[in-house]
Structure 1
Amino acid sequence: MRSVRPGTISAAFADASANAPDSRTRDMLVSLATALHDFVIKTQLSNDEWRAGIAALARAGETSGDARNEFSLLSDMLGISSLVNMISAQESATPSSVLGPFHQRRAPKLPNGGDLWKGQPGEVLVMTGGVFDAATGEPVAGATLDLWQNADNGLYAAQDSQQRGRNYHGILRTDAQGRYAFTTTRPVPYTVPTDGVAGEMLRLLGREAWRPAHLHVIVEAKGYHQIVTELFPDDDPWLDRDAAFAVREELVIHFERCSDKGAMPDWLEARDRLPPEFLTGSMKFYIAPKTRTLERPT
């Protein structure tokens, strides 16, 4: 490697990686290194700029922890998370969207029809719907929905010491007909954290930090591909200016105003405690089987 030059360093990296035990890992890392080499050459990156980039990555690591992942946030703001979701999507399944930096593992179990609202401030929302096989249209019993969202003050539980741990987080299972229901409050738009590297990047680019209101959902069932997605109310002012590039037309839903508690499922835990007027929303999730060809029924 005595004759490495800007035009030959990518080939040298590939040659040095020839004995990688896993070909997929080798291909990805060689492609990454080649793209980075091209970036350095195209931008004529200086030593000072390189050091600033390394320092930014170090700060992202320092900011990250159990309650927040700055690298995930940076990926969202760069559009990488959304791009990975789009190219990895299963045909005919409900589109994916970004995971976000505030998902918490080991969320409390929530009975189907359970209550995330718990009398907290905000517009009460009843969500109903079902999970279906994207190949056959048949309901999927026992599918899990991992749910989380922000509170009416715009903050997730991980950001807000005034909220109890894992507030507005819960995991429920669909019934024998693939149905689900739960009560919560309408999520609200918010700005992503701007005190870290991701926020610094937004400021450097003159970009807004707003995300439209959304409900996070991870849908899983044995024998099916997982879906990580978000649901967006159709009247949100930030739908077309999402800092994470995560909105998909199929994930935009309409909230109706309702005053008829009796029209809600009789297995809805908080049905009798609903206010005189509340919101309702509905979403059918289609999940892709791992072994069958997909063609969503009409």
Structure 2
Amino acid sequence: METEVTTEHDDSNARLTEQVVASFASTPDARLRTLMQSLVRHLHAFVRETEPTEAEWMSAIRFLTETGKMCDDVVRQEFILLSDTLGVSMLVDAINHRFATGSTDTTVFGPFYIKGMPERAYGENMAFTPGSPVVVRGQVRSTDGTPIANAVLDVWQTAENGMYSGQDIEQPHGNLRGRYRTDAEGRYAITTILPVSYPIPTDGPVGKMLDATGRHPWRPAHLHFMIDAPGHRTLVTHLFDKDDKYLESDAVFGVKPSLMVSYRERPADDELARRFNLRGPYREANYDFVLDRS
């Protein structure tokens, strides 16, 4: 008798799933129809597998509600943070860049990009807060090796306190952010400060999730890049400090070996220091970016 009741219950659940799936059958946009029907099937399968209590499901709804409340139009995007910490952002990235092309590896966009940051000259210093000075330079090329002139490198990073301008109201506008352009030979140069490892924000639902599951919130030190050039696909990537202790346990799973750089010590008052008006010892990193043609 119990087996019969269980079977009837399972059949009823299956019918419910198919009924909901069928409700989207007339969706005009074929791609939206596919996405919604697949979402229903997978979400229902998750519920059948885990059998949440009504209280647990209400907790999940509250979690998503609080996640939305933490988002704004300028700096904070808690849903991106959630996507990042669940590895979904990197999975979407991998699916959309799964064909080997010889271009630079991509990684997560992150939740702290701000549009319209200052245009900066070749080698200009974008740091208005203290830190260890560094110069990052290299070349931007197409996959066939051709240098790309006038490519735009939109760059951003945290200050030494582990926070981004905009996120941290104490930092000057545009601190550690800027839009650089390559010269006629595709070369770029950025003066800034050494990036530091930092914890992602833990004052919202994502932080509570990490705490409840025993995960740390730390990201390895990195610079963000979004690179645009006519006739090429936009590249979104990071450069990671190869000596950072969090490379193997990045909270958002964004590290790729090809994106690691060394910050080599340089002496004070050498030719490069004089060129970019650096006083005292500093460090230098070199990296060449390769863009796919669109």
Please report the TM-score for the alignment, with normalisation by the length of structure 1: 0.90
Between the aligned partners of 2:40 and 2:235, the Cα distance in structure 1 is 30
Aligned amino acid, residue 288 of structure 1: D
Aligned amino acid, residue 171 of structure 1: R
Bigger mean CA offset, 91-100 vs 233-242: 91-100
2:4 maps to none
Deviation at 1:87, TM superposition (A): 1.5
Bigger mean CA offset, 160-169 vs 204-213: 160-169
1:284 maps to 288
Higher relative CO (Cα under 8 Å, sequence separation at least 6) belongs to 1
Q: Report SS of the residue matched to 2:258.
A: helix
Partner of residue 110 from structure 1, selected from 107, 110, 120: 120
Residue pairs, 1:1-298, within 5 angstroms: 5-65=12-72, 66-89=74-97, 91=100, 92-118=102-128, 120-134=129-143, 136-259=144-267, 261-264=269-272, 271-272=276-277, 274-290=278-294
> Structure 1, residues 249-271: CA drift from partner, whole Å, max 9, x if none?
000111100016444298x5xx2
Aligned amino acid, residue 213 of structure 1: A
Give yes or no for contact 1:104–1:166 (8 Å, CA) kept in 2.
no
Bigger mean CA offset, 39-48 vs 87-96: 87-96
Aligned amino acid, residue 251 of structure 1: L
Query: 5+ unaligned residues in a row in structure 2: which ranges?
Result: 1-10
Between the aligned partners of 1:263 and 1:29, the Cα distance in structure 2 is 59
> Structure 1, residues 54-93: CA drift from partner, whole Å, max 9, x if none?
1111111111112210001111111111111111115222
2:7 maps to none
Please report the TM-score for the alignment, with normalisation by the length of structure 2: 0.91
Deviation at 1:159, TM superposition (A): 2.2
Bigger mean CA offset, 47-56 vs 257-266: 257-266
Aligned amino acid, residue 241 of structure 1: S
Aligned amino acid, residue 150 of structure 1: T
Aligned amino acid, residue 5 of structure 1: S
Between the aligned partners of 2:199 and 2:39, the Cα distance in structure 1 is 31
Give yes or no for contact 1:73–1:198 (8 Å, CA) kept in 2.
yes
Query: 5+ unaligned residues in a row in structure 1: which ranges?
Result: 291-298
Between the aligned partners of 2:283 and 2:16, the Cα distance in structure 1 is 59
Between the aligned partners of 2:21 and 2:141, the Cα distance in structure 1 is 45
Between the aligned partners of 1:8 and 1:95, the Cα distance in structure 2 is 44
Q: Report SS of the residue matched to 1:6.
A: helix
Deviation at 1:11, TM superposition (A): 2.5
Q: Report SS of the residue matched to 2:212.
A: helix
Between the aligned partners of 1:46 and 1:111, the Cα distance in structure 2 is 58
> Structure 1, residues 206-265: CA drift from partner, whole Å, max 9, x if none?
001111111000011122111111110111011111100000000011110001644429
Bigger radius of gyration, 1 or 2? 2
Between Structure 1 and Structure 2, how many residues are aligned? Answer: 282
Aligned amino acid, residue 103 of structure 2: A
Aligned amino acid, residue 282 of structure 2: F
> Structure 1, residues 110-133: CA drift from partner, whole Å, max 9, x if none?
122221124x31110100011111
